[in-house]
Structure formats: structure tokens, C-alpha cells
Structure 1
Amino acid sequence: TPERVVQHTADPAWDAIYRNGMRYICKNGLNRFISVKRRSGRYLFFTIRNFSEPVKIRKFQLIESTYPVESKAWFRCSDWRLNRIWEISERTLKLCMEDTFTDCPLYEQTLWVGDARNEAVFGYWTFDARDIGKRCIRLAAQSLERFPIVGAQVPSAWECLLPAWGFLWGISVWDYFDYSGDVEFLKSVWNDVIKNIEGAEKYLDEHGLFSAPWWNMFDWSGIDDQHETVLHNSMLLVGAINAAIRCAQVLQDEDRLVLLENLRDRLRRAINEFWDEEKQSFPDSIHEDGEVSESTSQHTSFLSLLYDIVEEKNREAAIANVLHPKKEMAKVGSPFAMMYFYETLEKIGFSERIIQSIYESYVPMIDSGATTVWEVFPSSEFHPAGFPTRSHAHAWSSAPLYFLPRIILGIRQVRPGGEEFIVSPDIGKLKYAKGAITTPKGILAVSWEVEKDNLIVRIQKPPGANVRFVSHESHQSLNLKIEFVERIY
């Protein structure tokens, strides 16, 4: 750090919990020792005390132990910075995969359910990580035996409810089906999906908003969230209901479909009642004395767009809050929440802003020599537990794995289970790009390059998948040549 403190070794408050160091008392002669405690770090510091003759260290190593991923996805383009960002994002995701997705390899080393939603989305298209995705969904569902909604971290003796994480679990169920097309798995967790939503419905207050005395965080930012009624919770609940509606349609559960649609419509009406005409935004929260929070944030605007909540008459104002937030608005603080900001930008047609943000947010990491992506951005105003970030390997931040192939390679799935894709690359200012994603049917690879006035696109499609090319506005001045090939290197 700037104070020349070795992070994670000199803060008693944190070291008492995480103990990334260890002490070993030697006997005379040759010593061998393997620690069974998981640790993480890039550098090792030795302090040798009370020795009366020379000490020779013959061998010291870290034994890497992660989920046995097979790296099949890849990405390369004419800008080395994006290549490096993709590489350190992939490395981080691997380090946060054990028998479940975990938040990080040093701190809690825990299945945080909200973190796992992001990581699963990245893991499906990068490692075809269906089995670990299913396991995380099932483990989290078991917390419904103890809690009214899905717990924040599982399994755990800490009785922690973080509503945003519980609602993102419901969204993760649809994510898994959308990737895999596995109807049998969807059937096996359907009752848990409904139980999670019914548990949340019991906490709707007199305004029709979700209200509960739990940890109502969504982002490391300046949101006014220290209250029982925080609007982003109600919006994320709508997101979970939207996901459940799609599941009900797949399962043809007409009775529950009607109930879910009615609940969603009630929640949307309740949320829209709190649109502030003067501020042209939603408030962050409703205080316990009934006062509406003076604080606003980007988050309520982008979530209201992402989950189709905001009324049409206020849609342009919400988009303005996303693209050009007022000075007093709380901005996105962490890479975790940035995932949902990026999803919104893509939905409203501003994918180029995602690439711009990736440059702004991740290049400072690689400029500092990072080999993994951090829990918070270097530019973030909020840094939990120190400079420049508490966790230097946090896979909730690996969003480039998902968005670089979607935007620069233009690969987007249009039917669940890898049945159908479109390829529509946004070439931007790049000269070439190529790469591959994993799908349930195999590898889907794309390469493109600009040669004078020509754009040459090559596509390797997986067996049994329908893949079609769709021209993008960035191709307008170019002559197109599309080829379907056996293999892309």
C-alpha cells in the first residue's frame, strides 16, 4: 500500500479472522510440512527467528486446488489490453471455483449466493460449468428450510439474509435453464422457486413494497440502504418474478403463471407510485418514519429498465439517469453491481458504453500489474477494508468474460439450450477479433477481420445448433464476406 504495509498481514482486525499467515516451529534436521488450510496470494514473506545455524529452504510451493475446469473458451483481438482483461478475468473465475462458486480464494471462501449468480453466468459460457451451477442452486435452495427467502451464504451457521442475493438466486435458476435447456432440473427446483417468492410476498408492506429488517445492500456505493424499505429490493424481486414467469411458461404451469403475473403487476404499480417527478428518479428508500429518502442512485433507474418496471412516460428519464447521472446521484460502485448496469446498457441499445466502461474500469488494474480482477474498481469511491481493494481475486468482477464475446464477437443466444444463436459483431475501432464460447452443444467460435473495405467473418458452429449472421450498424461502410468453417484458431 502507499503506507508500505503488506496487505492482509498487518491488520489485527482482519488477520484474526482470515489468518493468511502461519507459524511453523522446526525440529532439528530435515522438516517436511503441508498445511491443509486454504490460502491465497501472489507473494510470500518469510520471517525466520531464533536460529543458531544456517537454514536452507529446499522447496516451497503453493498447491493450487480449484474446480477442474477445461479451458475451451478464448478471446483475442487487436487491442492487447482487452486480451489481458479477458485473461485475468478467466483466471479469477477459476480461482473462485471449488466444489461451489466462491466469493474469493482468500477471505470467506464461501458460496455467496449473489456472487454465484454472476459467476455462474460467466462460468457457463467460459467453462460449460453446468454441474457446479446446479450444485450452487440446490445448496442455496436448502436454506429455505430455515429462512423465508434464500439465504445469502450457504451452507453457514451465520443467519444472514440479504434480500438482493435471495432474489438473484431466483434469476439464477432461469440462467441455468436458459444455458442448458434442462427441463428436468427446472422441474426439480420449481417448488423452491415458488417458495422463495411466496416467502418474499409476506414482507410486502402497506405500500406494496418489499420491506424487511435484513441486510439490504446491493452495491458498495452511497445508496441510502440502512432501512427496511429499500427500493432496489422490490425491483430485484420483480426480476425474480420475471424469471419465474419464464420458468412457468416452460413448465406450462398455468395456475402459478397467473399468480406470478398478478404479483409482478402489483409490485410494479407500487414501485412506480414512488417516482419523483421533480428529481426524475426513484428514491433509494422509505424511512421508518414514513419519510421518503432524499437520496437517489443510478441503481433504481437501471434496475427499473432491466426488469421492465418503469412506466413508459418516465423511461427516457430513467435512461438519462443511466447514461448521464446527476452529480448528487449515487453511482455504481462495485464490479458486482456493474454486471446489472452492463445488462441494462445492452438491453437499451448502448453496448458500446459497456466496452468503454471496461476500458475505464479494468485497464487501471492491468496497469498496476494485477493478474486477477479485484473486488472493487481502482476508481471506486468505496473501498471496504483498505487500499486498493480488500480482495485482489473476486470473480463477481469477471464480467468481461461474458460481454466481450457478446459485443465484440457478437455471439448471442436466442433460444435456450444452445439451440440457436445470432452472430453480429460490433467491430468498433478494432482491426480484428476472434474467440470462442462454450455451449451445451459444443464450441461456437467466431473470427473477423477488416481488410481495406472488406469485413471477413468466419463462424464455427457447434453440431445441432442454428447459427445465423446478422449485420451490425458498424458494418455499414464495409463489404461483407461470411464463411462457415470447420475450425477457427
Structure 2
Amino acid sequence: MAFTFQINDDVVWNRNERLLKKAEMNMPKLIHTEIQPTRLVEIVADNHFINGFKAVTSEREISKLSEYGLKRDEKLVLDLGDHYVGKFTIDIDSIGSPMDAPLYLHLKFAEVPAEIMAESKEYDGWLSKSWIQEEFVHIDVLPVTLEMPRRYSCRYIELEVIDTSPKWQASFCNPTFIAESSVTLDDVEKIELADEQLQAIHDVSVKTLQDCMQTVFEDGPKRDRRLWIGDLRLQALANYATFDDVALVKRCLYLFGGMTTEEGKIPANVFTAPSLIPDDTFLFDYSLFFAVILFDYVKHTNDKEVMEDLYTVAKKQIDFALKQVDEAGRLVLDEAWPVFIDWSNEFDKATAGQAVFIYTLKRFIELAHQTNDQDLNIYQTALENMETFAKEKLFDQKKQQFIVEGTDEINVASQVWMVLAQVMNEQTNKEIMTEAIRTQFPITGIATPYMYHHIVEALFVAGLTTDGEKLMKNYWGKMIEMGADTFWEAFKLEDPDFSPYGSPIINSYCHAWSCTPAYLIKDYLFN
């Protein structure tokens, strides 16, 4: 499992203020909801839950919170009852003799119980430990209303008294969490599924998406808090099937369209604070996906204005990518513009990258038809060449699988993306995925719901509905069995306690690219 940071500090950026103004016109007003903790809990060991811990109801009662005076090294854990994103306040007073020393307080904010038990001082991963959701606070005078200035993504909040003095204890009351999102669950049309497990998967998907819908579609409200284009494509699809907030999709499209390199290339992600800032990270497939997101948006809304504003931006991504295709129709990848496909570097991504480009070209050509693009023939010819190369050079007729040229490597990502791109006919697609199930299932080495989404959808596209549903239940259903209130950034069925960063304390347990079962269920199973 690997990801390489890109540093491209020589990029010259072009800001299209007209497009960015339209992005700001679609800025949502966040909805704030007051949440009161539902109970006090104890965190106990249980290997059936993620990273070996679960929350159980404490003998202490939340209604009597103010009666529990805490002294040195004593703690309690609040349970909000569900996962939320927002800010925390609590009233604190002293009990006993006069306050002859400051209160030294340690607060932890956790999406899953295991985060409470993890020690931040032991973390030594490659992501910054500044993402760890904990605070150390000195309070000189009580009583006080402690208002935490940061935004947190959590369900559990631990209050640990590091020290007071032997003469007095700290007392807590009125804990309040102000949750925020651009949407509410009331905005979703309720669906009722006969299958209880599918219903639970659908509902947790919706909650995951809600908590990632802030002023943009964030990739993770706990960590990164950015607009990534790969996540956006999947969030938009799930959004159309649930909240249907088209303004937020429009805003995100305009943000990417309004901040490109001098040559017109789209960054993989953008920051929105303290101002609008494009990141100096570029991914081949993510740049292409701008055209796909635009296609999906126009198909869903028939919004001609957005189409007119952003078509040229999408076209430039296609033109950049075509420079990587040789006369034979072969995609030649460039390390300076890598293809993502998935976190894992355990498989060669060349064939999958070829398929992603074919998938994108088919959608872009439909946009080109609508705009009467004079270059339409160029794109149609490129598509024909790339599909012909895939069929003649990358498809092994005997094995009924797509290979990687030069090594004959067969991996699941190659099959999945070629099926999604519908390079072959329906019957062959079904044979490809049937063979993939026989030879490559159960899947190993893949740890992202991002890739699992594409595998499940490819099974549905290939007509293997039962297999797709089974994989969705096995993967997302297992997260729920292990305590998920929202779906996670990373999860390996063969290694449930896996962390790409070496500790659960830095993992994101509410992540955008895991929210898609709501879309998959509605589009492939419910209708």
C-alpha cells in the first residue's frame, strides 16, 4: 500500500474568476444541529469490532454527569449516539475545596472506540500526527464554558483529567455538539428494502455522504477535508440517488474548472481554506474524470449553462491525455502524471488506465455531439484505435482476461475497468467477470472502498447481479458488523485491522469514496 506525495512548486496557475464566482454563488449554507450525548460508555476489548475495541454502556448515567467529580488520571467517555461532524462545548466547574491549581484536561474525539484506546505518542506514520483529534487544555479559573475552536469528526468524546490538585475535582455538565452539514437526512427520499442487511448498508452510506457534504464534497471530514476529484465523481453519483443537491456538485465542478494550470490541466484536489487553493498534485485518471463528472451532471440536470462554461475545460483534459496515446492506440503512462486506479501498488495499472481513458472518451464524445464540436472525428478515431488495441493486444482470448502488455500480468483492476468501459460485448463481459471471480476471488491486496465500488459495479454491468450484491454485503456489511456508523477510508477483508498509516488513530472512518452503496443499490438493485 503506497502513495507518493507530489511537489510541483514550479506550476503556474490560471484562475478564471468568472467560473470561481459561479462556484461561490453555489456555496451552501451549512445546517447546524444541536446534539446531546446519549450515554456514558466504557471502551472494552472485543476482537469482533474494528481494531479490537467496542463501546458498552457505563454504570454511570449521562443524566447525572455533573455529579461525577474527576480527579487526577480519571476519565469518562461521552457517546453522541451516532457519527457527526462539528464543534464541541461543555461547562466545567470545580467541586470541593477552593481551586488552588489549574485544571489540566485532555480531550479525545473518536470516530470509532479504538481511537480512544490508541496512544498518539506511539504514532510514527507517514501522515502528519497533527491530524490526530486530541487536545490538551489548561484552565486557570472555573467555572467556565469550554468552547473548542476546531471542527471534529466523531461519535465518542473522552474527557480525561490529567491533574487538578488533591483539594478539588472537576465537574462537567451540558456537553453539546453542534453538528454541521449542507444537507439533512430529511432531504432523502426513504426507501424500504426487504433485505435488512442491504437496508443497513444503504442507510450507513447515506450517513457517510451527509457528513462529507460540507461547503464542498469533502473526501474525509476528519482528515484531508479537501475536494478530491476521484471522490467527487463517486459522491456525485451517490448524491443524485439520495440528497440530489445539484448545486453542491455544480460548485465543485466550477472550483476545478476555475483553477487549472497555465496550460489548462486540472489538479487532483483543491483546498477551500484559508482561500481557494489548487493542490500541486496531478493524477491522470483524476484529470480525465472531470469530463465524466460533467457528463453525469449534464445527464442528470440538462444544465446547458454549466455545459457551456466547462466543456472546454473538460476537452483540454482529453487533449492532454491523448498526447499519451501512440499511433497504435496504446496508452503510454508518464511517471510525472501517474494513474491512480487504487492505493495499491501491488499490480500494474497500465491496462486499467487504458480502460479508464476509453470509459471517459465514450462519455466525452456524447458531450462533443451536444456541442457540435468540430473535432468530434478526432475523438471518435482515438476511441476506435484505443478499443482496437485493447481487443487485439490486451485481451487474451484463451484466458478470457485482459493482460498487461509485456508481462502478461492479469489483475482484477484491468478486468473491472475494461468491463466498465464496455470494450467487449455483454456476453464477453460476463465471461470476463465470471473468470475473474473464479481466479481472483476472494480479493486480496485491495484495501479501499474506492476499488471495491468499481469491482461491484463491474459485476452489475456484466449481469452478475447476485455476485455483485454478495460482494457488497461481504465488504460493506462486514464494516457494519465491526461497528461502522459511517463507512471507512480503508478496509481489508483479509486483514480487518489494517491501517495504511500504522495506527487507527490517523485513519478516516468516514470517507467519501466509501459512500456509493446507496447509488449501487438504487441504480442496480432497487429499480
TM range (shorter): 0.7 to 0.9
The structure that is strand-richer by fraction is 2
Determine the structure 2 residue equivalent to 1:60: 175
Determine the structure 2 residue equivalent to 1:265: 384
Selected match of 2:333 from 201, 211, 214: 211
How many Å separate the matches in 1 of 2:507 and 2:409? 27
Give, as a single letter, the amino acid of the residue that structure 1 aligns with 2:356: L
Structure 1 residues 330-376: Cα deviation after superposition (integer angstroms, max 9, x where no partner): 77642212322233223222223222222211222222222111223
Give yes or no for contact 1:296–1:329 (8 Å, CA) kept in 2.
Answer: no
Q: How does 1:270-309 map to 2 (within 5 A)?
A: 270-272=389-391, 273-276=393-396, 279-284=399-404, 292-309=406-423
Alignment size in residue pairs: 400
Q: Matched residue of 1:355: which SS?
A: helix
Q: Matched residue of 2:192: which SS?
A: strand
Selected match of 2:163 from 46, 50, 57: 50
Gaps of 5+ in 2: 1-50, 54-113, 272-276
Gaps of 5+ in 1: 287-291, 411-489
Selected match of 1:249 from 356, 369, 382: 369
1:130 lines up with 2:252 in the alignment: no
1:29 lines up with 2:142 in the alignment: yes
Q: Matched residue of 1:56: which SS?
A: strand
Give yes or no for contact 2:351–2:394 (8 Å, CA) kept in 1.
Answer: no
User: Compared with structure 1, are the counterparts of its residues 33 and 147 closer, same or farther at alpha carbon in structure 2 (3 Å cutoff)?
Assistant: farther
Q: Matched residue of 1:293: which SS?
A: coil
How many Å separate the matches in 2 of 1:123 and 1:7? 34
Give yes or no for contact 2:204–2:486 (8 Å, CA) kept in 1.
Answer: yes
How many Å separate the matches in 1 of 2:342 and 2:227? 18
Residue 311 of structure 1 and its aligned partner are, at CA, apart by 7.8
Q: How does 1:340-489 map to 2 (within 5 A)?
A: 340-379=454-493, 383-386=499-502, 390-410=507-527
Q: Matched residue of 2:187: which SS?
A: coil
Q: Matched residue of 2:479: which SS?
A: helix
Give yes or no for contact 1:140–1:150 (8 Å, CA) kept in 2.
Answer: yes
Give, as a single letter, the amino acid of the residue that structure 1 aligns with 2:217: F
How many Å separate the matches in 2 of 1:308 and 1:328? 24
Structure 1 residues 133-171: Cα deviation after superposition (integer angstroms, max 9, x where no partner): 111112122343356642211145641112122222211
Residue 97 of structure 1 and its aligned partner are, at CA, apart by 0.7
Selected match of 1:142 from 258, 274, 285: 258
How many Å separate the matches in 2 of 1:12 and 1:195? 41
Q: Matched residue of 1:65: which SS?
A: strand
Give, as a single letter, the amino acid of the residue that structure 2 aligns with 1:295: E
How many Å separate the matches in 2 of 1:111 and 1:211? 25
How many Å separate the matches in 2 of 1:350 and 1:312? 11
Q: Matched residue of 1:45: which SS?
A: strand
Give, as a single letter, the amino acid of the residue that structure 2 aligns with 1:212: D
User: Compared with structure 1, are the counterparts of its residues 195 and 370 closer, same or farther at alpha carbon in structure 2 (3 Å cutoff)?
Assistant: same
Per the normalisation by structure 1, the TM-score is: 0.74
User: Compared with structure 1, are the counterparts of its residues 80 and 328 closer, same or farther at alpha carbon in structure 2 (3 Å cutoff)?
Assistant: closer
Give, as a single letter, the amino acid of the residue that structure 1 aligns with 2:411: S
Determine the structure 1 residue equivalent to 2:99: none
How many Å separate the matches in 2 of 1:157 and 1:384? 25
Q: Over the residues paired in the alignment, what is the CA RMSD in angstroms?
A: 2.9
Give yes or no for contact 1:334–1:380 (8 Å, CA) kept in 2.
Answer: no
Give yes or no for contact 1:241–1:260 (8 Å, CA) kept in 2.
Answer: yes
Give, as a single letter, the amino acid of the residue that structure 2 aligns with 1:41: C
Residue 111 of structure 1 and its aligned partner are, at CA, apart by 0.6
1:11 lines up with 2:123 in the alignment: yes
Residue 328 of structure 1 and its aligned partner are, at CA, apart by 11
How many Å separate the matches in 2 of 1:395 and 1:380? 22
Give, as a single letter, the amino acid of the residue that structure 2 aligns with 1:63: I
How many Å separate the matches in 2 of 1:147 and 1:120? 27
How many Å separate the matches in 1 of 2:354 and 2:499? 26
Determine the structure 1 residue equivalent to 2:230: 114
- Please say which of residues 395-404 and 264-273 is displaced more in the overlay: 264-273
- Please say which of residues 107-116 and 51-60 is displaced more in the overlay: 51-60
How many Å separate the matches in 2 of 1:299 and 1:399? 18
How many Å separate the matches in 1 of 2:265 and 2:386? 17
Structure of higher RCO (CA pairs closer than 8 Å, 6+ residues apart): 2
Q: Matched residue of 2:473: which SS?
A: helix
How many Å separate the matches in 2 of 1:212 and 1:67? 38
User: Compared with structure 1, are the counterparts of its residues 249 and 313 closer, same or farther at alpha carbon in structure 2 (3 Å cutoff)?
Assistant: same
1:198 lines up with 2:350 in the alignment: no
Give yes or no for contact 1:149–1:197 (8 Å, CA) kept in 2.
Answer: no
User: Compared with structure 1, are the counterparts of its residues 311 and 330 closer, same or farther at alpha carbon in structure 2 (3 Å cutoff)?
Assistant: farther
